[in-house]
Amino acid sequence: MNHLEIQGLTKRFDLSSPPAVHDVSFQLKTGEILGLLGPSGCGKTTTLRMIAGFTPPDGGEIFLEGASVASLPPERRRIGFVFQDYALFPNKTVLDNVIFALHRKKRPLRKNRARDLLALVGLSREEHRFPHELSGGQQQRVALARTLAAEPELILLDEPFSNLDAALRESTRADVRSLLKCAEMSAILVTHDQEEALSFCDTLGVMNAGTLEQTGTPEEIYLNPRTAFVAQFLGRANLLRGTATGSTARTDLGEIAIHPATDGSVLLSLRPEHLTLLPLTEANSPDDPPRITSREFRGHDLTYRVKFRNREFLVHTDYTCDYPPGSAVALAPRRPGVVLQEPGLCFRGL
Ligand code: ATP
């Protein structure tokens, strides 16, 4: 059985504008971390708030362990919510912030349980400090300990790392992920940061304008985006038009392999690292060949911008594939182009 199942969740705040969330369905297994990813305003927080019970849906169902939670108020859903600003009590110590969330436990047990939770998040030595005496990452971990104290069945995290600087964000993210995994806790993370989604989550749901465009593992979505929006939101993508016959298509880059096989006019996605640069030969030399407009050394790879037929291709290669800016080159795919579904088309960068 799925731990959480969402069916057709819909919310319209205002009749004169489109729904903030439209017909969203997904499932979450026990212990799984799902990332809801999408640009600002696409409906991520509204989805989370409906699951938590803070915002009533206009349609759809939410099942936790197979039972509908529709009629339950937030405090009876056993769902923990970690807010972006942590929402700690500023006038309570770290220990008291956690003890406050242990009101279900018998009074004599509360202090020890709070100390266990602070040990779990690595903050035993900070128990007498006040929130303003902690770093952002430490405050984040107190917020998590406090949420775990209520023994929720599911944790919802709304952009919990966005107030941390880049280095702290990475380490806090890794700590929180291993804490959730140790506790076998199911969680949903809302983020608009693709790197965060890829590194923190077991599965992802990419949202666009209130709808869920694609769900799957990070690898599935990255390697097989279903739409141009998903291809461009999760990573970088070169979009290319072509005419398909089975598993090949005629494109500006010549005849290239595609998948899945299809026939007719297609829009294809090629990741920058799935293209490479080759020296020009007589066989691959058109009248006006692709030309490198910029070359950036980025440590682990080289990033080229290549102009060809009035458009720009982005290419990531390893540093052995080295050409100076201005060189004429051949552009060659190293993997099949992914055939995209056309609705949601957005020609960014074309
Ligand atoms: P962000 O990443 O900026 O937090 P989001 O993806 O979480 O965005 P939501 O906060 O869910 O997006 O908002 C989705 C849409 O619903 C937006 O157009 C927003 O303006 C609208 N909205 C959200 N809450 C309300 C509300 N209480 N009343 C009216 N409109 C709302």
CB 110 within 8 A of CB 168: no
Q: Which of 10, 16, 45, 58 for a ligand 1 pocket mutation test, highest count of atoms within 8 Å of Cβ?
A: 45
Of the candidate CATH numbers 3.90.1640.10, 1.10.357.10, 2.60.40.10, 3.40.50.300, the domain formed by 4-230 belongs to 3.40.50.300
Of the candidate CATH numbers 3.40.720.10, 3.30.160.20, 2.40.50.140, 3.40.50.40, the domain formed by 278-333 belongs to 2.40.50.140
- State if residue 46 touches ligand 1 by the CB under 6 angstroms criterion: yes
- State if residue 205 touches ligand 1 by the CB under 6 angstroms criterion: no
- Per the DSSP assignment, residues forming a β-bridge with 79 are 154
In this prediction, residue 343 carries a pLDDT of 59
In this prediction, residue 349 carries a pLDDT of 38
Query: Across the beta sheet with 238-251, what order do the strands follow?
Result: 238-251, 254-270, 337-340
In this prediction, residue 344 carries a pLDDT of 42
Q: Which element (helix H / strand E) includes 222?
A: helix 218-223
Each residue's pLDDT, cut to its tens digit, for the chain (350 residues) gives 678 999 999 999 998 889 999 999 999 999 999 999 999 999 999 999 999 999 999 999 999 999 999 889 988 888 998 877 778 899 999 999 999 988 777 877 888 899 988 987 888 999 999 999 998 888 888 988 898 888 888 999 988 887 777 877 888 888 889 888 988 889 999 998 888 899 899 999 999 999 999 999 999 999 999 999 999 999 899 999 999 999 999 999 999 999 999 999 999 999 999 999 999 887 666 778 999 999 999 888 899 999 999 899 999 998 888 899 999 999 999 999 999 997 544 444 33
In this prediction, residue 347 carries a pLDDT of 43
Nearest-CA residue for atom 27 of ligand 1: 13
This complex has an ipTM of 0.97
Q: Which of 9, 24, 36, 44 for a ligand 1 pocket mutation test, highest count of atoms within 8 Å of Cβ?
A: 44
In this prediction, residue 176 carries a pLDDT of 84
CA distances from 4 to 32, 64, 112, 134, 186 (A): 10, 5, 31, 34, 9
In this prediction, residue 300 carries a pLDDT of 82
For the chain, the domains span: 4-230, 237-271+335-350, 278-333
Query: Across the beta sheet with 59-64, what order do the strands follow?
Result: 21-28, 4-11, 59-64, 67-68
Amino acid at 164: L
Cα distance between residue 266 and residue 84, in whole Å: 41
Q: Is the dihedral of CA 172, 173, 177, 178 positive or negative?
A: negative
In this prediction, residue 329 carries a pLDDT of 93
CB 184 within 8 A of CB 152: no
In this prediction, residue 312 carries a pLDDT of 95
CB 41 within 8 A of CB 207: no
Nearest-CA residue for atom 30 of ligand 1: 13
Supply the pTM of this predicted model.
Answer: 0.86
